[in-house]
Amino acid sequence: MPHAKGSKSASFFKERRLKSASLLKRRNIMYAVIETGGKQYRVELNDTLYVEKLEANEGEEITLDKVLVLGGESLKVGAPYVEGAKVVAEVVKNGKGKKINVFTYRTKKGSKRALGHRQPYTKLLVKAIEG
């Protein structure tokens, strides 16, 4: 008998159970929530992330000490930062993002302006999470 429109099949619930089981397994993996460039990122070991441009050259190792949360087997939450925790990352690349075209105009005035913007970024590879 076909399912009524909007009802969920058994395979949906099986898939959902498998996803929640895999999330429970991931609980023991060490992770950190860091703050850089006014944004927060959840990182694990060997993660690659793009952050706002940092003053570091390619190949350099940098230490990010603004760690808000350390997770894994036990959870440490900072107020605002976790004491003694840090994330060591390697700068893979400094670059610019995709071009954004900005066009402004004023109606009925014949005034218009076109310009472009490319946001600079730093690509990081997480080497170690300590704390």
DSSP string, 73-112: SS-EE-SSS-TT-EEEEEEEEEEE---EEEEEEETTTTEE
Q: What is the pLDDT of residues 41-50, one digit of tens each?
A: 999 999 999 9
The model's pLDDT over 89-116, given as tens digits with 9 standing for 90+, comes to: 999 999 999 999 999 999 999 999 999 9
Cβ neighbours of residue 23 closer than 8 Å, sequence gap 6 or more: none
Neighbour count for residue 129 (Cβ, 10 Å) = 23
| For the chain, domain boundaries | 28-94+120-130
Residue type at 36 in one-letter notation: T
User: What's the predicted TM-score (pTM) here?
Assistant: 0.72
